[in-house]
Amino acid sequence: RAAVNNGNYGVRYELTVDLVTQDPTRSVGIWLHPSGGVGHHVVGLDGEVWASPLVHDRMAWLVGTVDLAQRRTVSIRLMLPGGSFGSQQLIFTPDVPA
Q: Is 83 left (phi over 0), alpha (psi -120 to 50) or beta?
A: left
Q: For the chain, give the mean pLDDT.
A: 85
- 10-51 pLDDT, tens digit per residue, is 778 899 999 988 888 889 999 999 887 788 888 999 999 999
Domain-located, residue 82: yes
CA R_g for the chain: 15
Burial (Cβ within 10 Å: 0-12, 13-18, ≥19) of residue 41: buried
Q: Domains in the chain: how many in total?
A: 1
Domain-located, residue 56: yes
C-alpha to C-alpha distance for 45 and 63, rounded to whole angstroms: 8
Domain-located, residue 88: yes
Is the predicted pLDDT of residue 4 greater than 80, yes or no?
no
Domain-located, residue 7: no
pTM comes to 0.81
Range of the domain at 74: 13-94
Burial (Cβ within 10 Å: 0-12, 13-18, ≥19) of residue 73: exposed
